Amino acid sequence: MLKNTFILFLIAFFSLSLTTTAFSFQQDSLTSTEGLQFESSPDTTPAVEAVPDDLAFSEAPDTTLSQDSSKLDKATTTVSSTDSDTGKKSLWSIFIAGLIGGFAALLMPCIFPMLPLTVSYFTKQSGTRASGISKALLYGLFIIVIYVALGMIITIAFGSDALNALSTNGIFNFLFFLLLVVFAASFFGAFEITLPSTFVNKMDAKSDKGGLVGLFFMAFSLSLVSFSCTGPIIGTLLVEAASKGERLGPAIGMLGFSIALAIPFGLFAMFPSMLKSLPKSGGWLNSVKVVLGFLELALALKFLSNVDLAYHWNWLDREVFLSLWIAIFGLMGLYLIGKIKFSHDSELKFLSVPRTLLAVIVFSFVVYMVPGLWGAPLKSISAFLPPSATQDFDLSAGVTSTPAHSDGKVKKYAEIFHERGTPKGFDPYYDYDQALEAAKELNKPVLIDFTGWNCVNCRKMEANVWTDPGVAKLLKEEFVMAELFVDDKTELPANEQFISKYSGKKIKTIGNKNSDFQASTFNSNSQPLYVIVDASGTVLVPQTGANYNIEQYKAFLQSGIDAFRAKK
């Protein structure tokens, strides 16, 4: 029974790994801050005396309008604190990912068989049941201390600035891709990632000492001996935490991982009879490793896609990415039903119920992705995929209309962004000053969209919100759109490079320029960020970030239109 429970948990882990962005959608700090120090930004609080009284957003404090200027100031202050709030949400997502990774690690062949042996040792060697429980709890506590210390070492070694830079650095993203491929190969049985045996043996010898020191080295020995199985999971978790750019990300991830790993030791020590219900070790443990290997391989492609987009390699168009995912998850499904085997697999005599259910989920996911090869939006995984503009063959492209305000002018940087970054059917500007000039000519407000090649929240907004007919109509007909990519690596001409008055750093790339503009003017470094201004650059309504409620986002756009018309 417990075996089935464990395998059903793996199903949940698989499902959550495909929807990790459900947590990370709340925050997307992909701006390469490179030394930016945040301080009070210039006062851009708009005058709103003529804004209609009925404009109020009950669940979006950062877009609430009021006749009372003090309330508007409060709303603007709320917007300024968005980065810290979303940072907390990102840390929660990292903690939950670590927790799930820890529970998955329990099912590894290097840890699962050790669980009853270790707990039995505590219960038999201790004089009383209370002593056994206390030792098991201390053992679990030391596991937490060891893994959190590992996370803290990563944090101290790199620092927050370096972690932010890692999130958009092409070299590190490519190295992350290679690292995850290596982890996947390890899970597939190509080799084992192990630590030097002499070091492991020395630590194991010290575990024979009594007292707290002995318990600590027992926990340390478990961490070392199980590294061949847990190493890829820990590595993936640290890579994900680092890519979020959060200072405490690695430590929080390791906290979640170690708590999940420590819980069973304390639980089984308190209730030893539960050990009898544990399933026997066997081939199913290797199957867990292989399934995680497929997931590692799928995740690796996301990091390769980040580099491909930011540096314009044009390797992984949307349909190429989807084809690879279809192949990976298709092979996973075939493995689950026993049609393919790896060298370390045992014979599969029959399909268990949990294994069958997982196979159904995987094959259903594969079928779901197939229409995406012809342009289907695939909204549930849109954040993982390259932008829809990279789709070469799109059956829906013929029904998109050109923007009503398109003036036929040559747009600066359009050759870089329009074909691969802009959602089909939209025709924004990619230079802020040029957008303001167009706004003067067309007598329309400007919607500034601070976005990024690697911004998962931006992709979700474009696929789930901008595709709504009402939202699309407002964007195309009522606004001059300025789409500013903050992580693009294209170098500016020498005569356009400058030293930032805000950060003191030299601005060399288009991404640096837009990132510096966003941070210095709007006191924010998270994407997406939507700001509505008039032709002179005056902010009309409080800015907002990602909002997946279509009606609320539409109301935000309408409030900007109303504020613009009220100023005439």
Could you give all domains of the chain from N- to C-terminal order, each with its CATH number?
89-278 (no CATH), 286-291+308-386 (no CATH), 414-567 (3.40.30.10)
Average pLDDT over residues 371-392: 86
Measured CA to CA, the distance from residue 85 to residue 62 in angstroms comes to 12
Which letter, b or e, does each residue of 399-431 get, where b requires 16 or more Cβ atoms within 10 Å of its Cβ?
A: eeeebebeeeeebbbbeebbebbbbbbbbbbbb
Q: What is the mean pLDDT of residues 213-233?
A: 72
Q: Look over the chain and give the mean of its residue pLDDT values, rounded to a whole number.
A: 76
Read off the pLDDT of each residue in 296-305 and give the average, rounded to a whole number.
90
Task: Please tell me the distance from the alpha carbon of residue 501 to that of residue 401, in angstroms, as a whole number.
Answer: 41
* Residue 98 near residue 261, CB atoms below 8 Å: no
Handedness of CA 332, 333, 334, 338 (dihedral sign): positive
How far, in Å, CA of 448 to CA of 539, rounded?
A: 10
Of 76-80, 86-90, 171-175, which gets the smallest average pLDDT? 76-80
Strands (E), 198-301: none
What number is the average pLDDT over the span 407-435? 88
- Stated as kind and residue range, the H or E segment containing 462 is helix 456-464
- The secondary structure of residue 320, as a DSSP letter, is H
Mean pLDDT of 314-319: 88
Q: Which residues contact 146 (CB under 8 A, 6 or more apart)?
A: 219, 220, 223, 258
Reported as a pLDDT band with limits 50, 70 and 90, residue 126 is low
Residue 9's nearest CA partner among 306, 354, 327, 263 is 354
Higher pLDDT: 76 or 111? It is 111
Q: Is the dihedral of CA 10, 15, 20, 23 positive or negative?
A: negative
One-letter amino acid identity for 340?
A: I
Write b or e for each residue in 466-478: b if 16 or more Cβ atoms lie within 10 A of its Cβ, otherwise e. Answer: bbeeebbebbbeb
- 207: pLDDT strictly greater than 90: no
pLDDT of residue 10: 45
**388-408 tens-digit pLDDT:** 888 877 666 544 433 434 455
Q: What's the CA dihedral at 532, 27, 546, 63 to 10 degrees?
A: -60
More confident residue, 517 or 424: 517
Express each pLDDT in 229-269 by its tens digit.
Answer: 677 777 777 766 666 656 677 888 888 888 988 888 777 77
31-87: pLDDT as tens digits: 343 444 333 333 333 333 333 333 333 333 333 333 333 333 333 333 444 444 455
Buried b / exposed e along 37-70 (16+ C-beta atoms within 10 A): eeeeeeebebebeebeeebebeebebbbbbeeee
pLDDT tens-digit map of 432-469: 999 999 999 999 999 999 998 888 889 889 989 999 99
The token pair at 546 is 């990602």
Between the CA of residue 409 and those of 34, 71, 231, 437, what are the distances in Å? Answer: 34, 41, 54, 11
Q: What are phi and psi of 236, to 5 degrees?
A: -65, -40
Nearest to 330 by CA among 366, 380, 358, 305: 366
How far is it between the farthest Cα atoms of the chain?
Answer: 86
Give yes or no for a contact between 523 and 41, defined as CB atoms under 8 angstroms apart: yes
Rounded distance between C-alpha atoms, residue 302 and residue 316, angstroms: 10
- 329-370 pLDDT, tens digit per residue, is 999 999 999 999 988 888 888 898 989 999 999 999 999 999
Are the C-beta atoms of 1 and 349 separated by less than 8 Å?
Answer: no
Instruction: Give the global pTM.
Output: 0.65
Determine how many CB atoms are found less than 10 A away from the CB of residue 199. 10
Percentage of the chain exceeding pLDDT 70: 69
Strands 480-485 and 446-451: parallel
Contacts of 565 (CB under 8 A, 6+ apart): none
Report the pLDDT value the prediction gives residue 88, as an integer from 0 to 100: 55
User: pLDDT tier at 217 (50, 70, 90 boundaries)?
Assistant: confident
| Mean pLDDT, residues 143-155 taken together | 81
Non-local CB neighbours of 307 within 8 Å, separated by 6+ positions:
170, 173, 174, 177, 313
**What whole-number distance in Å separates Cα of residue 486 and Cα of residue 457?**
14
pLDDT interval class at 555 (50, 70, 90): very high
Interval 181-186 mean pLDDT: 89
Q: Is 174 exposed, middle or buried (0-12, 13-18, 19+ CB in 10 A)?
A: middle
Residue 348: Cβ within 10 Å count: 17
